Amino acid sequence: MDNSLIVRFSLSQEWITEKEAVVFGVFEGEDIPCGLGFRKETAEREARHLFPVFSAVKHYCSHKDFSGKFGETVAIYPENVLYKRIILCGLGKKEELDDEKLRQAAAGAAAFAKKMNAGKVSFTLFGAPTQDATARLRAIFEGAALGLYSFDAYKKEKEDASRKLKKMEAVEFLLPEIMEESEVAEEKNKLDKYIAIAEAVYFARNLANHPASVVTPKFLADTAQALSKLYKSITCEIFDKQKLIEMGMNGILAVGGGSAHEPMFVELVYKTPNENAPTVALVGKGVCFDSGGISLKTANGMDEMKMNMAGAAAVLGAFFTAVKSKLPVNLVALIPAVENMPSSKSYRPGDIIKTMSGKTIEVINTDAEGRIIIADALYYAVSKYNPTHLIDLATLTGTCIDALGNHYAAVLGNDDALIRQLIESGVATGEKLWMLPMDDVYKKQIESAIADVNNTGGKRSAGTITAALFLKEFIGEHKSFAHIDIAGTAMLPEAHGYKNKGGTGFGVRLLTEFLERLK
């Protein structure tokens, strides 16, 4: 799998030279490009050079064809300017611009430049007065890089070629001309870090978008193992079916039993040399395809269930990004990987599974499979590592989409501080979370007359909450657990801003940010 960003990203201080396309931001109601981030006393040469640009923008805006409304994008072609095209990107009201809007604006401008056939696009670091140069660089980079993602691995004729478009090859960010070398080097380090994070998002998107015939449990395990070989600080263990039997991971075995692709369990461990570092265990749901099993889903939309491993993809992406940047945090990533298929070997409605924890599950519906495999992973995480923080990411319930749609994931847990940290990381990255109550008042719904719990929550109402309560049954006395239901955010029915249709890689940036803030 090639997870490179396709487009090359760089920093430049060269303003006074020919350029194919340069993007400027304009606030609603204003008629000059905003926030170039120059320091007044040093920007004379640039200012003189940009004077014709400013007057062209002013002239253009005076016609009222463009008002700087958020999402509005136009190209102008002024004379006496070294730039072939100037792309004006509407930023909306100054006081409303935040990092997330900036990401979206940058994605819109990058897509626009691509459509205009530009082989290279240069971004000025526009933004709100409250956003410093680094925040602008990060948001504009993320918007452009993530917005330019496309998945055409299986197209004979690639999209660009079929539309006779020149391939966009490079994006540069314009820093002040006289910025010191050491300061530029600092920004370059930051950009490299952002590139690594964006590559992890591409990685997670690709894993979700490749079909289930390719991304099997073994493929997930092999991918994790291959990546782990790149770092001495990681150990990787893969449990095959035999090992799962020995370990008593009967939840994973039951759900994966119906498929010719045998279930696997991936255990990745990263140890920081820092003493007294927290240990974070991340569990990612890895259902490579979810037909529903014997409780077969209807045909409509079943194809999307190749993405039911998006939690696993995000956990892997975040894990390797954290390792790459040597975060001072101990990390454990656990991936139960299965395919949920109907066959004579499948588990059935009515079956009772004795999980690794010893607790039993009455299977009411084999389509509520995610919680069963995560149950074993959570128990394993707590009993082996007793982590300071325990977090799982899962495309777990359709009812989460009923509640929050595609723009917020649900977070539930037993530690308010952990939940708050996660929500704040979501705000910072644009991977937003909304808390639902993991309150025992709903517990009656997961009771079973003949086993310790049932696997459906009895009825559809409060389905996301009862799924979380189910998971809580398997964490023992653990006091810092959060469950993140990404059913609506991991895959989009249509593109939105810098998020493409299909797998979005949701969770990679959220978890990376959370881990960064922990250190």
What is the set of active-site residues? 297, 371
User: Binding to Zn ion by residue 485, rule CB under 5 A?
Assistant: no
Tokens linked to 478: 């653990």
User: Binding to ligand BES by residue 362, rule CB under 6 A?
Assistant: no
User: Binding to ligand BES by residue 398, rule CB under 6 A?
Assistant: yes
Residue 398: name its binding partner from ligand BES, Zn ion, none (Cβ under 5 to 8 Å by kind).
ligand BES
User: Binding to ligand BES by residue 370, rule CB under 6 A?
Assistant: yes
| CB 309 to ligand BES: min, Å | 10
3-state secondary structure of 505: coil
User: Binding to ligand BES by residue 291, rule CB under 6 A?
Assistant: no
Q: Where are the beta strands (DSSP E) in 27-156?
A: 73-76, 83-90, 120-124
CA distance 213 to 235: 27
Q: Taking CB positions, which residue lies at the least distance from ligand BES?
A: 398
Residue 217: name its binding partner from Zn ion, ligand BES, none (Cβ under 5 to 8 Å by kind).
none
Q: Which stretch binds Zn ion (CB under 5 A): 17-25, 71-79, 169-177, 368-376?
A: 368-376
User: Binding to Zn ion by residue 290, rule CB under 5 A?
Assistant: yes
The residue (of 362 and 369) whose beta carbon lies closer to Zn ion is 369
Query: What letter represents residue 415's amino acid?
Result: D
User: Binding to ligand BES by residue 487, rule CB under 6 A?
Assistant: yes
Residue pair 122/12 in contact (Cβ under 8 Å)? The answer is: yes
In the numeric block, the tokens 């072939």 are attached to 84
The burial class, CB within 10 Å (0-12 / 13-18 / 19+), for 421 is: middle
The residue (of 81 and 353) whose beta carbon lies closer to ligand BES is 353
Tokens linked to 441: 């008042």
CA atoms in the 13 A half-sphere facing the CB of 382: 21
Q: Among residues 357, 456, 489, 500, which is the contact residue for ligand BES, using CB under 6 A?
A: 456
CA distance 22 to 87: 6
In the numeric block, the tokens 């940290």 are attached to 421
Residue 251: name its binding partner from ligand BES, Zn ion, none (Cβ under 5 to 8 Å by kind).
none
Q: Among residues 279, 346, 395, 500, which is the contact residue for ligand BES, using CB under 6 A?
A: 395
CA distance 514 to 519: 9
Q: Among residues 367, 392, 473, 513, which is the contact residue for Zn ion, using CB under 5 A?
A: 367
User: Binding to ligand BES by residue 365, rule CB under 6 A?
Assistant: yes
- Centroid of chain to Cα 470: 25
CA distance 458 to 455: 8
The residue (of 81 and 462) whose beta carbon lies closer to ligand BES is 462
Among 113, 109, 76, 114, which residue's Cα sits nearest to residue 91?
Answer: 109
Residue pair 423/435 in contact (Cβ under 8 Å)? The answer is: yes
User: Binding to ligand BES by residue 342, rule CB under 6 A?
Assistant: no
User: Binding to ligand BES by residue 369, rule CB under 6 A?
Assistant: yes
Q: Taking CB positions, which residue lies at the least distance from Zn ion?
A: 367
| CB 38 to Zn ion: min, Å | 54
Tokens linked to 199: 């590559």
Residue pair 270/247 in contact (Cβ under 8 Å)? The answer is: no
User: Binding to Zn ion by residue 172, rule CB under 5 A?
Assistant: no
Give the footprint of Zn ion on this chain (CB under 5 A). Answer: 290, 367, 369
The contact set with ligand BES (CB under 6 A) reads 290, 308, 365, 367-370, 395-399, 401, 456, 463, 487
